[in-house]
Structure 1
Amino acid sequence: MAGDRERFSTATRLKALGEQAAARVYRAGRRAGPPRRSRLTGRAALLALVVCSLVVALAYPMRQFVSQRSRIAEQQRRAERARAEVERLRDEKARWQDPAYVERQAREHLHYVRPGETGYTVVREGGPDTVRSRDEEAAARPWYSELWDGVDRADAGHRTR
């Protein structure tokens, strides 16, 4: 029995020694490969910091630059529209310098006639007393009639679409 114990303990010891040796070999194999480097080196971190600082430092001036360029473009468009308006007004002024144009405008808009001509004004049927503008007609009617007429017109417009 004493022999069994010694043999058992020796076998157990050998087994433990084998496991320790295997662990040492495993660890030695792991160390034998190239040493692991950190993905972010000090130089890379410094470069990233400089780039971020430049982006932050240039963001506001770039935004101002873009904003000012859009304002300049808008002012140029306004100036171009103003030039076109000035040109149109110069043309109109030149037309008003022509006596024939002035006479035609006076005849059309002011109903002027030349000496010796007879002017006619056409009025509605029923005489000049029955001629009313749309505003005068609306003022003569009660407010609620105008309201319902507006609703009816809106409804009729909705139905036709």
Structure 2
Amino acid sequence: MAGNRDRFSTSTRLRLLGEQTAARVYRSQNRRQDRRSRLTGRAAYLALVVCTLVVALAYPMREYVSQRNEIAEQERLSQEAERQVEELRDEKARLQDDAYIERLAREHLHYLRPGETGFTVIDPDAAEERRAEQGAADRPWYSNVLDGVDEADRPGR
């Protein structure tokens, strides 16, 4: 019996030793999984922080870019306005010159100096086109003017 008992205790010991080894392996695996899950949790937290920063900064960045574009557009409009002001100043300076005014009057208003004779040359093709377009070219000019006044005075306008 003593041998039987030793054998039982050896087998029991082996079984216990196997169970202890299995428990150690299981604990080791659990520790690795815990470490992995902690890393996964950290990574998820980091991803959450990064996403929060992206969302928090997206609107201000969009506004910044929009405002920069608006500033560039306003600067362009300002430069264009300055250019127009310069052109108007130049035109104003030219209008101070009597020779320039006389030239404009001769070109646009067909003014003549005393003693000059003016001629108006009419292109027959252009005159015919104008008559076809107007329809009232055969009437006196003052009739057309009065018709225009009557038309402007109608309530439907």
Is TM-score (shorter-chain normalized) higher than 0.5? yes
Q: Does 1:134 align with 2:132?
A: no
Task: Quote the Cα distance in structure 2 between the aligned partners of 1:110 and 1:43.
Answer: 86
Structure 1 letter corresponding to 2:131: E
* TM-score, with length taken from structure 2: 0.58
Aligned residue in 1 for 2:103: 104
Determine if the alignment matches structure 1 residue 64 to structure 2 residue 59.
no
Q: Secondary structure of 2:127's partner? A: coil
Give, in whole Å, the separation in 2 of the partners of 1:58 and 1:65.
10
Q: 1:51 to 1:131 in 2, by over 3 A?
A: closer
Q: How many residues are matched? A: 109
> 1:70–1:131: structure 2 CA closer, same or farther, 3 Å change rule?
closer
TM-score by length of 1: 0.57
Identity of aligned residues (%): 59
Q: Secondary structure at the match of 2:53?
A: helix
Alignment correspondent of 1:43 = 42
Structure 1 position 124, deviation (Å):
4.4
Shift of 1:112: 0.7
Instruction: Determine the structure 2 residue equivalent to 1:93.
Output: 92
Gapped runs of 5+ residues in structure 1? 1-23, 141-161
C-alpha distance in 2, partners of 1:135/1:124?
A: 11
Query: Per-residue CA shift, 1:13-45, capped at 9, x if unaligned?
Result: xxxxxxxxxxx8xxx7xx589945537432222
What are structure 2's unaligned runs of at least 5 residues? 1-17, 136-157
